[in-house]
Amino acid sequence: MTRLAVVYGGPSAEAAVSKVSADAVFRALAGLGYEVQLLELGPNLADELARAKVDAVVPATHGAMGEDGCLQGLLEVLGVPYSGSAVLASALAAHKGVAKRVFADAGLPVARGSEVSRSTWTPEHASELRRELGGAVVVKPCAGGSAIGIGRIQEMDPDERLYEALEAAFEVDPAVVVECFRQGDEVTCGVLEDAEGTALALPPTRILSKAADWYDFTSRYGTGGSEHQCPAPYAPALLERIQEVAVAAHRALGARDLSRVDFVVASDTREVTLLEVNTLPGMTPTSLFPEAAAVAGIDFATLCQRLATRALARARTQHRPQVRAMPA
């Protein structure tokens, strides 16, 4: 019988969400007849994987150590195949500042922004940032997800409010991105690769937050915290544009298997602004990616089957030292 491990948790602030995702994936894979183990991302993971003699890993990790290339690097060293993006794409996507530069270089539509480091930050920079980017800005830790550490500054807010938001974001990550605020719909679009590795966009989803005036942590994971309109109620040309940019962002990072790409669609012009790419999107009961897959005719069990199949198709690597003769 094929043996799989679903890895979850780790030191991330999103560990609890990861456990919910992992439980759902575990149940789906077990129902498909795989021998599955749930393993926590921690100091003993390498030993646990060796004892389990798994054929492949399906990561259900979110945030630090699990989604940023660290877990993926460990699996590469161990020679264990896994689903999802490899080390480089995972690391690029996990750092919002670096990912933004990759997207800009690829000609994709991103908001004007500036990266701020805790080591060089001073309170006087608040007014400079607002002169550069406009009075309304968004503050985002470069690492992490689930809207943790994000602050939104309104046009009429004093500079002190931006300073406080930066200090809060620095508690999550020492590097922070400050972007000009784009008023509009919050939209996401999943990308799922087929058996040949061709990236295909799922139907875009418009997100209507209920628990707050934006898609914060409670809106994401609280019961009734948000309403999801999938497919988003837009003209075909706009839906196609969102899907086109989503696939382009997936490819620009070198992501593989799956990703979820977040946008703002301007209320007036319907201009599409790319925000970020999540290389291991949530698989919880309220998560957007499996919901969009279902609209596309791919139920949750089939989605998990596809991820397992992609992982198992990757050859187990054997790392052997290169022996070279010493020069005479």
Domain ranges for the chain: 3-83, 112-180, 183-306
The residue type at 322: Q
What is the token pair recorded at 281?
């999107």
Query: Which residues lie across from 180 on neighbouring strands?
Result: 137
Cα–Cα distances in Å, from 235 out to 206, 231, 240, 249, 270? 13, 11, 9, 22, 10
Q: How would you classify residue 81: left for phi > 0, otherwise alpha for psi between -120 and 50, otherwise beta?
A: beta
Of 167, 148, 146, 151, whose CA–CA distance to 287 is shortest? 146
Q: pLDDT tens digit string along 27-71?
A: 999 999 999 999 999 999 999 999 999 999 999 999 889 999 999
Q: Does domain 3-83 have CATH number 3.40.1280.10?
A: no
Enter the CATH code of domain 183-306.
3.30.470.20
DSSP assignment letter at 186: E
**CATH fold label, 112-180:** Dna Ligase; domain 1 (3.30.1490)
Give the three-class secondary structure for 122: coil
pLDDT of residue 215: 47
Distance of alpha carbon 250 from alpha carbon 15, whole angstroms = 24
Name the pairing type of β-strands 184-193 and 113-117. Answer: unpaired
pLDDT of residue 271: 96
The residue type at 110: V
Give the three-class secondary structure for 46: helix
What is the token pair recorded at 152?
């939104």
Asked if residues 71 and 7 have their Cβ atoms less than 8 Å apart, the reply is yes
Distance of alpha carbon 192 from alpha carbon 211, whole angstroms = 29
pLDDT of residue 52: 94
pLDDT of residue 119: 74
Residue numbers in the chain where pLDDT is lower than 50: 211-212, 214-216, 219, 319-326, 328
Fold match, 112-180 / 183-306: no
